[in-house]
Amino acid sequence: VSRLEGAARAAAGLARQILDYSRDAADTQGRADLRTCVEEVAALMRHSLDPRIEVRVDAGAGAAPVPLAPGRVQQILMNLCCNARDAMPAGGVLELGVRVHGSEATLRVRDTGMGMTEEVRRRIFQPFFTTKEPGHGTGLGLAVCREIVAAAGGAIRVESAPGQGTLFEIHLPLAAAEAAPAEPLPEAEAAGGHTILVVDDEPLIRMVAERFLERAGFRVVAAENGEQALDLLRREGQRIDLVLLDLTMPGMRGPQVVAALRAFLPDLPVVITSGYSEQSVTQATWAHEVQGFLAKPFDRKSLLAAIARALAGA
Ligand SMILES: Nc1ncnc2c1ncn2[C@@H]1O[C@H](COP(=O)(O)OP(=O)(O)OP(=O)(O)O)[C@@H](O)[C@H]1O
Ligand SMILES: [Mg+2]
């Protein structure tokens, strides 16, 4: 029973976080090059997907600017790609494409996976509709995608049949050639040009933290495991002002990473993020080595507060 409860809590927490994130960014004007975003996400996918999934990109040439913040385009792409991955448990082809025609750009994500029945296809954009195991899907991915696309004045359509794979096509208006630079947010001052290293094995958490922090005026670099984080800190530790570090990751765990980095960066502030209770973490033997604790799932406010506290104490 407790495992089920845990999974349900994790799912609910993630759902809250995504909705929070999506509301947070929905009013943000932005500008992204679809081609750059597609290349970036494709590179990420090539690194993280089962090698039996072949990632193909057909992004054409030249820019494809759309009126969305890059983080939102990444969010859309990540969800479509993760859905495609889930539909191809035995491997297949994931194809990403960008086309520009007239005053419109089209983003295509195609997979050769299991496809969907008509009945499923009709419901995929409903919030909380999922066919995945509890704890594996919140059913919010496509609902959020559609919301983002609609906010930018675009549309999303899908073609799929059982055993025939799936094609998602997103139509977006092209952004005006020269967009005014975004207004700096008042919080940017507090961020004071600080650079935060975000370390988490969960791409969604990394993305959420990155967006919250960037929007608040921080510079952000990310690592997906402890080894990568230490590598980065050894090379450019001097320009990192704080580490936001996940407690439980495959490979090196948070406390091991802290112990290792203390050898060469004794004063670098570290904030631990964890789904465990604050009490169980602060009672740990290594707790005095870190400058803060943040319970997952976190919202924008608690994240910025924990970072501000740790930076102030440093
Ligand atoms: N490429 C695809 N191939 C087959 N089925 C898909 C594909 N994309 C989405 N679906 C179906 O649509 C449902 C809803 O997708 P959606 O992204 O909204 O939620 P999810 O992936 O289940 O959960 P979440 O994205 O919140 O982790 C999925 O559970 C799946 O049944
Ligand atoms: Mg999904």
pLDDT tens readout for residues 47-80: 889 999 999 999 988 889 999 988 889 889 999 9
C-alpha–C-alpha distance, residues 310 and 314, integer Å: 6
The CATH number corresponding to 188-313 among 3.40.50.720, 3.40.50.2300, 3.30.360.10, 3.40.630.10 equals: 3.40.50.2300
- Please state the domain extents for the chain: 2-173, 188-313
- Measured from the CB, is residue 113 less than 6 Å from ligand 1? yes
Closest atom of ligand 1 relative to the 136 alpha carbon = 27
How many CA atoms lie within 13 Å of 4's alpha carbon, on the beta-carbon side?
Answer: 1
- Is there a contact between 162 and 77 (Cβ–Cβ < 8 Å)? no
Which of the pair, 88 or 297, is modelled with greater confidence?
A: 88
Ligand nearest to the CA of 168: 1
Ligand 1 center from residue 130 Cα (angstroms): 6
Give the pLDDT of residue 184: 45
Instruction: Give the residue, by CA position, lying nearest to ligand 1 atom 4.
Output: 115
Radius of gyration in angstroms for the set of CA atoms belonging to the chain, rounded to a whole number: 20
* Mean pLDDT estimate for the chain: 86
Q: What is the rounded distance in angstroms from the CA atom of residue 86 to the CA atom of residue 248?
A: 24
pLDDT at 128 over 80: yes
Ligand 1 atom closest to the Cα of residue 109 is 1
> Which of 65-74, 179-188, 297-306 is the least confident region?
179-188
What is the C-alpha separation between 149 and 73, in angstroms, rounded?
9
- Which stretch of 83-87, 162-166, 172-176 has the lowest confidence by average pLDDT? 172-176
Euclidean distance between CA atoms 189 and 186, whole angstroms: 6
Pick the closest to residue 273 from 256, 294, 288, 255 (CA basis): 294
Residue 223 neighbours by CB under 8 Å, 6+ apart:
197, 198, 199, 229, 231, 232
Characterize the bridge pairing of strands 92-101 and 104-111.
Answer: antiparallel
Mean pLDDT of 88-107: 96
137 lines ligand 1 (CB under 6 A): yes
4 has a pLDDT exceeding 70: no
Whole-number Å distance between alpha carbons of 10 and 297 = 8
Q: How distant, in Å, are the alpha carbons of 73, 82, 147, 192 from that of 154?
A: 12, 22, 10, 36
Pick one of 2.60.40.1180, 3.30.565.10, 3.40.50.2300, 3.20.20.410 as the CATH number of 2-173: 3.30.565.10
Q: Using a 6 Å cutoff on CB, does residue 141 contact ligand 1?
A: yes
> CB–CB of 210/222 below 8 Å?
yes
**Measured distance CA(222)–CA(40) in Å, rounded:** 14
Q: How far is the CA of 224 from the centre of ligand 2 (A)?
A: 20
